[in-house]
Chain A
Amino acid sequence: MTLRNVWLVAQRDYVAYVMRRRFWISLLLSPAILLAIMLVPSLIQHFSSAQRYAVVDQSGWLLPAVEQRIAADDYSRLLNLAARTPAQAIHGLPPVLAAIAPAAAKLDEQARKDLAQALAAGKPVPTSANALAIWAHRDALAKWYAALTPETAASVDRNLSIAKYQRVKQASDSLRDAISKGDLYAYFVLPSDPLAADAQFKYASHNLTDTDLRDWFSAKLSAVVQARRAAQAGLTTAQAKSIGQAVSFDNQLVTENGAKTATSAEQAAQWLPVGYVYLLFISIMQIAQLLMLATIEEKSNRIAETLLAAIEPSDIMAGKTLGVAGVGVTMVGGWLTLILGLLAVFGSMFNLGGFAGAILAGISAWNIMWFLVYFVLGFLLYAAVTGAIGAAVNNIREAQPYMTPVMLFMIIPLIIMVPVAQDPTALWARVLSYVPPLTPFLMMCRSGAPPPMIDYIATTALLLGTVIVAMYLSGRIFKRGLLNSGAPPKFKEMLSWARKPNAAGEAARGAAAD
């Protein structure tokens, strides 16, 4: 093998692919589609206007109680926002929030929640100095809150109730008209005795499939009604809450350093291996197929024989593999840059920051290193197969029967990745990770609960050995295949090429070339 020739072939193939317009289109399109899938629901919510609803309160007391609860939740949200805004960004808040931000930052979460309820109810007057400092702004705050429109609310925090749902006053006899005209999205009817066991609440809308408004309002309503019912039964709110409380689990993440309560980031990181497998699958499949297409192109353009006369087949194969690997690395690198870059830009805009942050925090140098090792070895293994197929056939149609079993094999990791990620220590997962074509995917999939070192070393050694044998055999098929211009070989014939590269059963084909 001559390095200069390998480099020349690699360089030509790399440049030829990367200079094509369709390469850049597909490079940009793939993450764009992925991002669209992720962001479209947020975008739709972002640009859709608030749902307008009306409430007919036959009880006379329930609606004000629910409104007070909604206000308490909104105040709580606003206090949190003010408290969490960094000092240098406070000037970006509405003045009334900017004024309370320093004091809010000094309260803990529970204190902010209590204060929010007090602000909404107008009592009791708080006792702590910081809460009192905020309390002093309560009239200004209430005035500002009451004046919020869906648009102004959304510019402060998209999750404020008024940003999504806007209550309007509407005469009860014109509700149906308003809905059919589109002025109103829905209306609620609260019965005269809402605390009765058989109380009938009514919800009417022209769209019963979108249940966001109904679910949101009913949650607030239920909380108020449950509290009143508890009071009637002589229970405190806390007692009632504890009766209705479902059991909850503390998620413990067991590591070599002992057990500790898992943070949401750590829980997200448990799913990171699935991400690795996906990325590994997409990148390996894409570029292994690219190698096949590049080889077929060389054959169909009738270039192969000219190359064979000038340099060794092993130079051609190594050069093409290297060139295509370069294309793959450019593509995957481009995707990662685009996805992470766009997540960073749009993530904050659509409040994906926490999710993206948790994912990013779970990525470790150790896993990245193994990802790269398995990417290279996995690509070389599949490249050996697709390169040989590309050399043996004359067009994509002829390649199909050979590619089908390869593709079926490659999707095995996709099928089993969720069970493996859920139970990375299962014996069957460990056994399957010793099957070389599955090794890269399964080892990355098991990385959530890091496999023992012996598994890393043994599976990688086995994979490396397989890659060397596969490349050697593929090189022989490659050499024979490139000169084959007749019907594609049968599978058995291809294997015989691998055994005896120069004298296999070509029969009529060798003669047909003369």
Chain B
Amino acid sequence: MSNAISIEAASKHFGAHTAVDKLSLNVPAGSIYGFLGRNGAGKTTTLRMITGILDPDGGSVSVLDGKAPRDVRGRTGYLPEENGLYKDMQVLDMVTYFGQLRGLDRREARARGRTRLAAAGLEASINAKCNTLSKGMAQKVQVIAAVLHDPELVVLDEPFSGLDPVNSEMVLGLIRQFKREGRTVIFSTHVVEHAEQICDSVVIIDHGLRKVDGPLAEVKARAERSVIVDYEGDAGAFASLPGVVAADDAGQHAELRLAPGADTQVILKALVERVRIRRFDTREATLKQIFLATVEDAHDAA
């Protein structure tokens, strides 16, 4: 699969502060890619480099077949975190304006705007002024405006920020729809559950550095898993079992933390030889656990 975004050792400094530090990553075309990190981790700066708003001080950022971001503005769409609307402008006029700025001619932009606003249930608000919209309606309008020109790459910075669960679901639905339409979607969030629901791949960055990245299943597989064991008999030292890093043994109930890549079949076999097993329950780490472990490690290391 080709890459929609290739970042190689990109760095961005603001004075003495390093916002992004030699970051490298590839975003596969057609995937939904989640950008996770704490506040101030470097997410927005990276997204701004991907959209061509900022230039990296070192390294390179290329999008859509190795092009410089600024050269393919007509093929990318961007919804900034603190996005807004012209308060005094009518909804359709504003959507049309943003479509025109991305290269559509006026007639086409107006026609698309009308159709898509109607499809999003905003037909009655087409001629309303933007300052009369509710937050959820405004977010819909903003997303429609950001992708009116049918971009191949959609970049969303914190698209769930400030939305209630109903509107968050609406945005999740839009992202899934973009994927069905064959677009690449990259979005940043600090609500890890959203990423876990829809992402094909994720990256966790902290202090401008890439900590974990890859397809979600791989990231999870690489993470530390655990096994819950209920047993009868004398188990001896669980920690000596192959692939077990640590054990919390309460007598007839134990929780074993496994090394990345440890084979649960081997552990089960070894246990059966020692004790009578009543329950053997493998637990995968959630993305949230992976996220917290990653950024805490980074924090500890710092």
Contact = CB atoms under 8 A, between A and B. Distances in A.
Contacts of A310: 73, 78, 98, 101-102
A301 B37 contact: no
Contacts of B146: 306
A311 interface: yes
A512 B81 CA distance: 12
Contacts of B80: 302, 305-306, 309
A306 B84 CA distance: 8
Interface in A457-505: 483, 485, 502-505
A485 B98 CA distance: 22
Given A305-B80, A514-B45, A507 B15 contact: yes
Interface string B38-78: 01111111001001111101000000000000100100101
A514 B42 contact: yes
A514 B39 contact: yes
Contacts of B276: none
Given A309-B53, A503-B15, A20 B83 contact: no
B73 A505 contact: no
A84 interface: no
A306 B16 CA distance: 27
A308 B83 CA distance: 12
Given A306-B83, A514-B40, A514-B41, A502 B17 contact: no
The residue among B53, B78, B81 with the most chain A CB atoms within 10 A of its own CB is: B53
A306 B78 contact: yes
A301 B84 contact: yes
Interface residues of B, number: 44
Contacts of B78: 305-306, 309-310
B16 A510 contact: no
A305 B14 contact: no
The residue among A5, A310, A508 with the most chain B CB atoms within 10 A of its own CB is: A310
Interface residues of A, number: 32
A302 B53 contact: no
Main secondary structure of the interface of B (DSSP, over half): loop
A309 B44 CA distance: 13
Interface in B200-252: none
Nearest to A312: B70
A505 to B, nearest CB: 4
B19 A305 contact: no
A503 B53 contact: no
B88 interface: yes
A307 interface: yes
Given A302-B82, A306-B146, A505 B14 contact: yes
B45 A513 contact: yes
B87 interface: yes
A118 interface: no
Contacts of B97: 8, 12
A511 interface: yes
Interface string A3-21: 0010010001000100110
B128 to A, nearest CB: 15
Contact of B14 (A12, A20, A510): A510
Nearest to B38: A514
Interface string A275-287: 0000000000000
Contacts of A303: 83-86
A506 interface: yes
Contacts of A309: 51-53, 73, 76, 78, 80
Given A308-B53, A506-B17, 13 more contacts: A16-B89, A302-B84, A303-B84, A305-B83, A306-B83, A307-B101, A310-B98, A310-B102, A311-B101, A505-B16, A508-B17, A513-B45, A514-B41
Interface of A: 5, 8, 12, 16, 19-20, 301-303, 305-312, 483, 485, 502-514
